[in-house]
Amino acid sequence: MHELSIALSIVEMAEERAEWMEARVAAVRVRIGPLSGVVPEALASAFDMAIEGTALAGARLVIEESPVVILCARCGERRPLPSASDFRCPVCGAPASEVVGGAELLVTALEVNP
Amino acid sequence: MTREPRIVEVRRNILRKNDLAARELRERFRGAGVFVVSLVSSPGSGKTAFLERTLASLGARFKVAALVGDLATENDAARLARSGALVRQIVTGAVCHLEAEMVRSALEGWMPPALDFLFVENVGNLVCPASYDLGESLRLVLLSVTEGEDKPLKYPPIFHGADLAVITKCDLAEAVGFDWQAAARSVEAVHPGLPVLRVSAKTGAGMAEWLAVCARLRAEAISAASSAAS
């Protein structure tokens, strides 16, 4: 359960931005890939704990879950995978040799009230 | 009239601090010619026994040291120190994984000069360590035959992020009816092409092959670093 420490980093980053923009954060948007090792549900609960008593109190966390994406050597195409426990091209079945997405752990945007 | 919230694009890696610290460590290790191997696994998979044997064997030819992460005790460090290697414990308290900054601060004033290998044993946990780069050159994931063949399917990120899988406690494989083919299939499903070694730290089976791989990868890393520098 390292989601609390991840949530604290998100809050710290959002607070800095909000202070700099002199705005109040209504929501934080994050993107999480299945290879990041972060469980979205656990992060959502941890975020609610982490914002208590901070400038972000009351803010929402909007989680966008991104898929694992491979570059299939056989098809020559980027393919999102339906599951992180089957690294084969969903179209041609070739084992994935190059993974180009799925480890994201990003704050993508803030929704702020001026 | 209430104004609509404004959307501000940010695009910041949440683990940026860790990634920067890991990058600094990696550069420092490369500069010092140290090959750093980290070990992750679930608790009780035999990391410490495997490392004890590895340190004792490599220690005959190389200068080796180890950092050991543990939630509460210093038992593992005491066990590993019997191999004659330099060992330092990182007691993480409530933290379920190692971070690059913990490795950096443990090395502060301790990292022995002219080191060949540094082993970093993570806290026993197949979930959280997956998110944190420690600046290592090689990440091993250990899986014992007593855990079941489908572990990789249950923990894709940690198996996907590893460079080498080591199946431990092979001496017990027959007794527990371990299905080698099923294990190979689950590794392949989450990390196609991941090399897999089989060892028993108890009988020593497979250890020679692992030690040869370890020495070869270190030699390759050194020659790659020196050709990049020239």
How crowded is residue B197: how many other Cβ atoms within 10 Å of its Cβ? 17
Residue B160 reports pLDDT greater than 60? yes
Structural tokens at position A37? 């090792």
Predicted confidence at residue A102, as pLDDT, reads: 96
Q: Which of B98, B99, B150, B159 is nearest to B126 (CA)?
A: B159
Domain that holds residue A9: 3-67+102-113
Q: Which residue among A1, A39, A110 places its CB closest to the CB of B10?
A: A110
Please state at what angle helix B207-229 crosses helix B47-58, rounded to 10 degrees.
70
Q: Which fold has domain B16-229?
A: Rossmann fold (3.40.50)
Predicted confidence at residue A1, as pLDDT, reads: 67
Predicted confidence at residue B78, as pLDDT, reads: 86
DSSP state letter for A88: B
DSSP B150-199: THHHH-HHHHHT-SEEEEE-GGGTTTTT--HHHHHHHHHHHSTT--EEE-
Residue B2 reports pLDDT greater than 90? no
Residue B1 reports pLDDT greater than 60? no
CATH no. for residue A30?
Answer: 3.30.2320.50
Predicted confidence at residue B75, as pLDDT, reads: 83
Q: Which residue among B10, B160, B192 places its CB closest to the CB of A95?
A: B192
Write the CA distances from B63 to A92, A98, B28, B66, B84, integer angstroms: 48, 35, 17, 11, 10
Structural tokens at position B194? 């991941």
Q: What are phi and psi of B72, to 5 degrees?
A: -135, -35
Q: Which of A94, A67, A96, A72 is nearest to A82 (CA)?
A: A67
* Sole residue written with tokens 């299905």: B179
Residues of B in contact with A39 (CB under 8 A): 127
- Residue A94 within a domain: no
Q: Where are the domains of chain B?
A: 16-229
Residue B88 reports pLDDT greater than 90? yes
The answer to whether residue A62 neighbours chain B at the CB level (below 8 Å) is no
- Residue A91 within a domain: no
- Residue A83 within a domain: no
What is the rounded radius of gyration, in angstroms, for the C-alpha atoms of chain A?
17
Q: Give me the number of domains chain A comprises.
A: 1
The one-digit pLDDT tens for each residue of chain A (114 residues) are 689 999 999 999 999 998 888 899 999 999 999 999 999 999 999 999 999 999 999 999 999 999 999 999 999 999 999 999 999 999 999 999 899 999 999 999 999 987
| pTM of the model as a whole | 0.92
Contact B153 A85 (CB under 8 A): yes
Collapse the DSSP code of A103 into the 3-class scheme (helix H, G, I; strand E, B; otherwise coil) and give the result.
Answer: coil
CA distance A107 to chain B (A): 5
B:33-92 residues touching chain A, CB 8 A cutoff:
none
Residues of B in contact with A37 (CB under 8 A): 127-131, 157-158, 161
pLDDT digits (tens, 9 = 90+) for B39-67: 999 999 999 999 999 999 999 999 999 99
- Residue A38 within a domain: yes
pLDDT digits (tens, 9 = 90+) for B114-146: 999 999 999 999 999 999 999 999 999 999 999
- Residue A26 within a domain: yes
Where do the H-state alpha helices sit in B33-176? 47-58, 75-81, 100-107, 151-154, 156-160
Predicted confidence at residue B220, as pLDDT, reads: 95
Collapse the DSSP code of B33 into the 3-class scheme (helix H, G, I; strand E, B; otherwise coil) and give the result.
Answer: coil
Give the full edge-to-edge strand order of the sheet including A78-80.
A78-80, A69-71, A98-101
